[in-house]
Structure 1
Amino acid sequence: MNTIRYTMPGFVLSVLVALLARWLESKLPVHFIGASIMALFIGMTINHVFKLGKKFKPGLKFTSKKILKLAIVLLGASLSMGTILHVGRLSLTVMFFTLFTCFGAGYFIGKWLGLDWKLSNMISAGTGICGGSAIAAMAPVIEAKDKDVAYAMSATFLFDMAMVLLFPIMGNMMGLSDMAYGLWAGTAVNDTSSVVAAGYAFSEAAGDFATMVKLTRTLTIIPVVLIFSLINAYMNSKKSIGNESQKKVKITSLFPWFILAFMGMALINSLGFFPAVFAAGSKSISKFLMVTALAAIGLNTDIHEMKKSGISPLIHGFLISALVVVVAITVEYYMGLV
């Protein structure tokens, strides 16, 4: 009971911020900004203005860690491995090159800018996979700080806002077909809401294809998060050299339970065991819980601490995103789609 009493203030505040963000999202004429981003920024603003006391901290930590993991598990129930076959090899080819660009170039850009490897790779994951969802999924397995999660989200969000406006203009200037444009937007724009906005701003057919490509990108969360859980375990083992009690890495630290549960839910759904109503309901609950978790991260983030990181993370996000835009359209050109 004491645990519930201590966590309730922070949890309830996070839910209220999430509800406000969802309400604001519903009032926008065009959904170019998702409730997750709104909740993050609203939470950061509240913490900055009101300086939340210690009584909120246990609940905010519980929501940003435990509730976030539950949201990711439930998300798996709405994903299907068959989406890859539905969209086809074209999107997979382009995605291979964009993911290689994100994590390959991102590594060297992060080194050049002097960024922590966790922040650098969260920005790369957000750019290459699916914006906030990828960052949220990676954060627990690499034990990222809340301020780094907030900064990574901000870096990918700012570029997305520009792309929602510029992509339809550039697509028309290049004379892209609906499929070519949908493939480009689906692989180069980050967050789901931004992909939808940029896609349907071009045409309905382009929006449909961009959305399917985006769903395929989401599936790459699974291998990427597992790989980074191994990398984090390796980095932790290097730090513990000389401490015999910490030399052995537990299997649970290599394969976090919530990612295994996420994979299991996606597999069960792929085999057709989940009714459509259940899958849709799980996705809706997952999306709201993720908004709630990001509200908690915002409420627990000190803007002054973020400022200490300087402008480097934003430069990282801009460079990686710009490279992905160029690489995606270049690959399409050589595939004969442009």
Structure 2
Amino acid sequence: MFKSFTNYSFQKKDSLFIILGLLCLTPLISSPVALILGFTLATLGFVPTSIDLSALTKKTLAYSIVGLGFGINLDEAIVATKDGFGIIVTSIFCTLILGWFLTKAFKIDKKTGYLISAGTAICGGSAIAAVAPAINAKNDQTSLALAVVFILNSVALFVFPVIGHLLEMSQHAFGVWSAIAIHDTSSVVGAASAYGDEALLTATTLKLARALWIIPVAFISALLFKGDSKKITVPFFILFYCFAIFIAYALPDYQVLYQGIFNISKQVLVMCLFLIGAGITVKKVKDAGVKPLVLGVLLWIVISTSSLVYILYFM
């Protein structure tokens, strides 16, 4: 009887995990909530051992990134890149280089630190999701980086508009600053829309341009983390990501379909975050300590203040 009860209990756990995972494919669950849900289930021991979370997460992350490519307007992204090429390139590579040195200085796990740097440099969770498979990051490394980014995103959503008004920034200037200094596109849109329509348009367009830099950064990341092997792991999903952008550009008559794929991909990415959260344990969080969060905060302060000074005095 005890054996049958145990089996029944495990079946209930498996069902709860699957139901919540599927629920993440709906708009009812946001990205941070999905990550917390996964972590909570892992803490309570409700994660099925029969599921290879690492393999499943890597595949679904790759698929979601490819789908997000259909949401990139190539014309707008190229124009925005030309207009803000200097500040985009400088902010991305300076953040990655600074992150590399700080990761060594704080003795943080190399891949975790690099993912936090990539998320800060480009576009938050999407960049982390794209770079993680390219460097063969583990679930706990990816999840810690995502957690740091989501915390700072939440802060930026409320703090940036307040600072913008205090400094009496123009709509255009605030839009540029939001696109450069706020991690995720969703938070960029939220902060910029609270500031004004022109700020929203500027921020969204420039953020699209930054999203294109996922492609070269993923390839560079694969080179940097190839390890002792002479062979480079080619992140094929990035090639398909490029192909998705090209299809949306070459065949513009199917924008409704592309938008549908883009929206589905965003929800698949939310489910990925649920799976990543399910791979986190309390022990792993304790072992990591506060250093990853300190790294994320320092990088964020540097990119926020330096870009703000440039926008206010040199643009």
Stretch of structure 1 that moved more, 305-314 or 253-262:
253-262
Are positions 1:328 and 2:302 aligned together? Answer: no
Q: Which residue identity lines up with residue 159 of structure 2 in the other structure?
A: L
> 2: CA distance between counterparts of 1:273 and 1:13?
39
Q: Deviations over 1:150-201 (max 9, x none)?
A: 1101111111222111111110111110000011011100011211111111
**Taking structure 1 as reference, are residues 14 and 306 closer, same or farther at Cα in structure 2, changes over 3 Å only?**
farther
Check the 8 A contact 2:71/2:258 in 1, yes or no: yes
> 1: CA distance between counterparts of 2:305 and 2:47?
43
> 1: CA distance between counterparts of 2:157 and 2:247?
34
Check the 8 A contact 1:119/1:149 in 2, yes or no: yes
Check the 8 A contact 2:27/2:267 in 1, yes or no: no
User: How far off is 1:11 after superposition?
Assistant: 10
Q: Deviations over 1:276-304 (max 9, x none)?
A: 02211110121111111111111122132
Are positions 1:42 and 2:46 aligned together? Answer: no
**Taking structure 1 as reference, are residues 95 and 39 closer, same or farther at Cα in structure 2, changes over 3 Å only?**
same
Q: Which residue of 1 aligns with 2:131?
A: 138
Are positions 1:186 and 2:185 aligned together? Answer: no
Match of 2:94 among 97, 101, 126: 101
Check the 8 A contact 1:161/1:194 in 2, yes or no: yes
> 2: CA distance between counterparts of 1:188 and 1:18?
33
Are positions 1:119 and 2:123 aligned together? Answer: no
Q: Which residue of 2 aligns with 1:314?
A: 293
> 2: CA distance between counterparts of 1:290 and 1:15?
16
Check the 8 A contact 2:35/2:277 in 1, yes or no: yes
> 1: CA distance between counterparts of 2:304 and 2:78?
24
Are positions 1:203 and 2:207 aligned together? Answer: no
Q: Which residue of 1 aligns with 2:246?
A: 267
User: How far off is 1:326 after superposition?
Assistant: 0.9
Q: Which residue identity lines up with residue 297 of structure 1 in the other structure?
A: I
> 2: CA distance between counterparts of 1:18 and 1:173?
43
Are positions 1:286 and 2:265 aligned together? Answer: yes
Check the 8 A contact 2:218/2:235 in 1, yes or no: no
**Taking structure 1 as reference, are residues 18 and 94 closer, same or farther at Cα in structure 2, changes over 3 Å only?**
farther
Check the 8 A contact 2:14/2:47 in 1, yes or no: no
Could you list the runs of 5+ residues in structure 2 that have no partner in the other structure?
Answer: 1-12
User: How far off is 1:217 after superposition?
Assistant: 1.2
Check the 8 A contact 1:91/1:187 in 2, yes or no: no
**Taking structure 1 as reference, are residues 37 and 268 closer, same or farther at Cα in structure 2, changes over 3 Å only?**
same
User: How far off is 1:129 after superposition?
Assistant: 0.9
Check the 8 A contact 1:132/1:191 in 2, yes or no: yes
The secondary structure found in structure 1 opposite 2:137 is coil
Size of the alignment, in residue pairs? 303
> 2: CA distance between counterparts of 1:20 and 1:266?
25
Q: Which residue of 1 aligns with 2:5?
A: none
Identity of matched residues, %:
31
Q: Which residue identity lines up with residue 290 of structure 2 in the other structure?
A: I
Stretch of structure 1 that moved more, 208-217 or 117-126:
208-217
> 1: CA distance between counterparts of 2:308 and 2:185?
19
Check the 8 A contact 2:120/2:183 in 1, yes or no: yes
> 1: CA distance between counterparts of 2:307 and 2:36?
30
> 2: CA distance between counterparts of 1:303 and 1:90?
45
Could you list the runs of 5+ residues in structure 1 that have no partner in the other structure?
Answer: 1-8, 26-34, 238-247
Q: Which residue of 2 aligns with 1:299?
A: 278
User: How far off is 1:78 after superposition?
Assistant: 2.2
Match of 1:151 among 134, 140, 144: 144
Q: Which residue of 2 aligns with 1:30?
A: none
> 1: CA distance between counterparts of 2:129 and 2:18?
16
Match of 2:80 among 78, 87, 102: 87
User: How far off is 1:50 after superposition?
Assistant: 3.1
Check the 8 A contact 2:42/2:279 in 1, yes or no: yes
Match of 2:220 among 208, 227, 238: 227
Q: Which residue identity lines up with residue 126 of structure 2 in the other structure?
A: S
Scaled by the length of structure 1, the TM-score of the pair is: 0.83
Q: Deviations over 1:222-242 (max 9, x none)?
A: 110011112222x242xxxxx
User: How far off is 1:23 after superposition?
Assistant: 4.4
Scaled by the length of structure 2, the TM-score of the pair is: 0.89
Q: CA RMSD in A?
A: 2.2
Match of 2:17 among 13, 17, 28: 13
Q: Which residue of 2 aligns with 1:164?
A: 157
